[in-house]
Amino acid sequence: MMKNNIKPSDKEYVASTYGRFDLEIVSGKGSYVYDEKGKEYIDMATGIAVNTFGLCDEEWINAVNEQLTRFQHVSNLYYSEPCVRLAELLAKRTGCKKTFFSNSGAEANECAIKTARKWALENKGEGYYNIITLKNSFHGRTVTTLAATGQDVFHTTFNPFTEGFLYAEANRLDTVEALVKEYKCGAVMMELVQGEGGVLALDKDFVDGVFALCKENNMLLVIDEVQTGNGRTGSLYAFQQYGICPDIVTTAKGLGGGLPIGATMFFERTENTLTAGTHGSTFGGNPVSCAGAVNIIERIDDAVLKGVKERSEYIVNELTGADGIKSVSGLGLMLGIETERDAGEIIKECMDRGVLPIKAKNKVRLLPALNIPMDTLKKAISVIKAVAKGE
Ligand SMILES: *Cc1c(COP(=O)(O)O)cnc(C)c1O
């Protein structure tokens, strides 16, 4: 079959916000994707931690199809089952009380920020709108979530940004304490493994310290699990292995298994903060996305999480100290590899050899499917190893 070359039309008609690789993906199955020429690639990025169980996973397709043929959407003015089932499942698996559904990570964080401000106003008084985030963090692309993102490169061009964000240093509790002393603060918001910032896991001591500090100062702790959530780091949510109890947890990416969905989970202190009319979303809680998400969350059981840890250990053991590799960071199947050669070049050569990792800052980032078969993973890692070595 002759295929049209879509690349010139993409350049002509699609907004030029993405620097695309010279690769069109036309189909996929499990941890493999195929380009228009039929070349096979091992997918080591899953659409940035989205395709939790790989591409075109049968069970997930069945769950989604079943809902799709029932009805595709109803307004939030009415009850519908999939979003209730998902909220109940999340409550049982995380200890959260209530969930607000949206369509993306940025929206999930936007909702968390609104909630933190309303909570602070009602529980602390006027002026406690400040939220402390961490340098090198990433929280989204809206004007407010860009402001929350603690990276100067994101704080240009689109001024004025939303006020009320203060930036502390990751793993430096004294810098958080200093801000709490100097300003009226209502919350701390952070990722437990900074993803876009270079796949850096926060120290347990630091996280414990922030948790205690929030408690002492009657502040909320908001954990952004947009990327770390949904089994990615070896527990359903990363906060569960850090052993802390946050007040709000946001997630998106892998939750829907490939369909757009965002979730803002409220724990005890925040479960009744948002009231009727204070927040909403037309597509939020979409039944098809929620049916997909129910399937994903139900399947992330102990066996899957054990598999994530085993695969993670395999990758870390293979790559740590290997020729051309400076360091391996991250948690579970969210890993960053610092290479001696430029990460961009490594990624390009991996692509030529049929392996698709992505970048995070100066690192090669790996986010494979939670169930990537071991032999497929071994193949991909051997290619990455050879490329890093310069073979
Ligand atoms: C990707 C990401 C976001 C933004 O999610 P979108 O769905 O692209 O809006 C927010 N926070 C973190 C930690 C992320 O990794």
Same domain, 108 and 16: no
- Residue 32 belongs to a domain: yes
- Residue 346 belongs to a domain: yes
CA Rg value for the chain: 21
Please, which residues have CB within 8 angstroms of residue 93's CB and are 6 or more apart in sequence? Answer: 236, 297
Which pairs with CB-CB distance under 8 Å and at least 24 residues apart come from 337-341? Answer: 337/363, 337/364, 337/365, 337/366, 337/384, 337/388, 338/362, 338/363, 339/363, 339/364, 339/388, 340/388, 341/388, 341/390
Same domain, 315 and 235: no
User: Is the minimum distance from the CB of 214 to ligand 1 under 6 angstroms?
Assistant: no
User: Is the minimum distance from the CB of 105 to ligand 1 under 6 angstroms?
Assistant: yes
Q: What is the CATH number of the domain that holds 314?
A: 3.90.1150.10
Range of 371's domain? 7-52+303-389
User: Which residue among 136, 149, 253, 255 has the greatest number of ligand 1 atoms within 8 angstroms of its CB, and so is best to mutate?
Assistant: 253
Same domain, 81 and 128: yes
User: Is the minimum distance from the CB of 140 to ligand 1 under 6 angstroms?
Assistant: yes
Q: What is the C-alpha to C-alpha distance for residues 336 and 362, in angstroms, rounded to an integer?
A: 9
Instruction: Give nearest CA residue, ligand 1 atom 10.
Output: 139
- Residue 102 belongs to a domain: yes
User: Is the minimum distance from the CB of 43 to ligand 1 under 6 angstroms?
Assistant: no
Same domain, 282 and 295: yes
Whether the ω angle into residue 160 lies within 30 degrees of 0, i.e. cis, is yes
Token digits of residue 33 = 């994707």
Ligand 1 centroid distance, CA of 321 (Å) = 31
Same domain, 183 and 102: yes
Query: How much is the pLDDT for 1?
Result: 47
Same domain, 314 and 342: yes
- Residue 82 belongs to a domain: yes
Same domain, 202 and 315: no
Q: Report the number of distinct structural domains present in the chain.
A: 2
CA 41, 45, 47: angle at the middle one, nearest 5? 100
Token digits of residue 39 = 């070349």
Q: What is the C-alpha to C-alpha distance for residues 252 and 242, in angstroms, rounded to an integer?
A: 20
Residue 43 to residues 155, 235, 315, 351, 365: CA-CA distances in angstroms?
A: 32, 22, 15, 10, 12
- Residue 38 belongs to a domain: yes
Which of 299, 332, 360 marks a domain boundary? 299
Query: How much is the pLDDT for 3?
Result: 59
Same domain, 89 and 213: yes
Neighbours of 175 (CB within 10 A): 16
Token digits of residue 157 = 């061009």
* Main-chain phi, psi angles of 234, to 5 degrees: 105, -5
Q: What is the CATH number of the domain that holds 227?
A: 3.40.640.10
Which of 265, 299, 333 marks a domain boundary? 299
Query: How much is the pLDDT for 4?
Result: 74
Q: What is the C-alpha to C-alpha distance for residues 330 and 315, in angstroms, rounded to an integer?
A: 11
In the chain, how long is the greatest CA-to-CA distance?
Answer: 67
Which of 257, 275, 299 marks a domain boundary? 299
For β-strands 40-43 and 32-35, DSSP reports them as antiparallel
Residue whose C-alpha is closest to residue 100's, from 302, 299, 300, 261: 261
Same domain, 38 and 126: no
User: Is the minimum distance from the CB of 252 to ligand 1 under 6 angstroms?
Assistant: yes
- Residue 2 belongs to a domain: no
Same domain, 209 and 340: no
- Residue 288 belongs to a domain: yes
Each of the 391 residues of the chain gets a pLDDT tens digit; together they read: 455 789 999 999 999 999 999 999 999 999 999 999 999 999 999 999 999 999 999 999 999 999 999 999 999 999 999 999 999 999 999 999 999 999 999 999 999 999 999 999 999 999 999 999 999 999 999 999 999 999 999 999 999 999 999 999 999 999 999 999 999 999 999 999 999 999 999 999 999 999 999 999 999 999 999 999 999 999 999 999 999 999 999 999 999 999 999 999 999 999 999 999 999 999 999 999 999 999 999 999 999 999 999 999 999 999 999 999 999 999 999 999 999 999 999 999 999 999 999 999 999 999 999 999 999 999 999 999 999 999 9
Same domain, 267 and 135: yes
User: Is the minimum distance from the CB of 191 to ligand 1 under 6 angstroms?
Assistant: yes
Query: How much is the pLDDT for 150?
Result: 98
Same domain, 259 and 332: no
- Residue 1 belongs to a domain: no
Q: What is the C-alpha to C-alpha distance for residues 24 and 43, in angstroms, rounded to an integer?
A: 13
